Amino acid sequence: MGLFYAYVIDVALNPLLLSLNRWVVTFQSRAIADEWWRKIDDNPTAQKSKITRISPQLYKNDASTGYQAYDSITEKEDKMFFTALPGRGSYGLTLIPPATITDHISGGTYFIRSQSSPDIYWCVKDDKFIHASRTERTKFRIRIKGASTEGKVMIGSDDIQITLAFGDLKTNTNDSNVLVAGKKAETYKFSDFSGGFMIQGAKGPDECGRESSEVDKIYKTDQGEIWELTN
C-alpha cells in the first residue's frame, strides 16, 4: 500500500466555524499512520485526551486544550504532513480515497492471508502444523505481549503472541523453524507479517499446470513474504 490519508477535525469550535479547522494528513504509509497514533496513545501526558482516534482514517482534536494535532509531528516530519481544508461552502473539494483495511487492534481475532495470493490462508490442521491453504482457514488472536495492551493499535516494533482464536493452542516455532500450534506461546514481532514468515514450498501450479489446494507449511525466516490480517 502506498500513501495513506486521514482526516483530523477540531471539535472545540463553534459548529459554524468547524470546517475552518479540518485537515487531511498524508502519511508515507498506513504503518506510519499507526506509528504516529501509537506515539500519541502511549504519551504519559494528557496529550492522549486531546486527540481521539475514531477510525484509521478519522481523528478528532480538541484545540480548546491549547494543543493542535499537528503539534504532534517531531521526528516523522518527512513521513507525514498536514494540509488545511478549505472553509464551509467551498467547491471542488476532492474526498480522500477510503481505504478498505482491517484495523490492527491488540487482542483482536484475525484470519491471516498472503498479500500476493489472497486466496491462501493460514490454517491449523490435525497435525498441529500451521499450513497455507486455499480451502481452509483458521482464525487467530493476536495481542501485544504484556499487561494492559488490549485495544492498542499494533505497530511493527511490538512484541506479539499469536494464539488460536478459540481454545488454548498457541503458536510457536519448532526446531525446523516451522510454525506449530501447541502449549507454548512464542514471541514474534508484529513486523514479521511483513517478511518474517514464508510458505515452505511453491504456491503456484505444479509441474503439470494444476493448481494445488494445499501449498505446504508456514515457517519462520528473515526473507519471507507479506501477510495481511483480515476479519
> 135-155: per-residue pLDDT in tens?
999 999 999 999 889 999 999
Quote the pTM value: 0.85
pLDDT of residue 18: 46
The domain spans of the chain are 4-84, 108-230
The one-digit pLDDT tens for each residue of the chain (231 residues) are 689 999 998 877 655 554 457 889 999 999 999 999 998 888 766 455 578 899 999 998 877 776 677 777 665 567 898 888 876 555 556 678 888 899 999 999 999 999 999 999 999 999 999 999 999 999 999 999 998 899 999 999 999 999 999 988 999 999 999 999 999 999 999 999 999 999 987 555 444 444 555 568 999 999 999 999 999
Q: Where are the beta strands (DSSP E) in the chain?
A: 4-10, 22-27, 51-55, 58-61, 80-84, 108-114, 121-124, 130-133, 140-144, 159-164, 170-173, 179-182, 188-189, 194-199, 214-220, 225-230
Domain formed by 108-230, architecture: Trefoil (2.80)
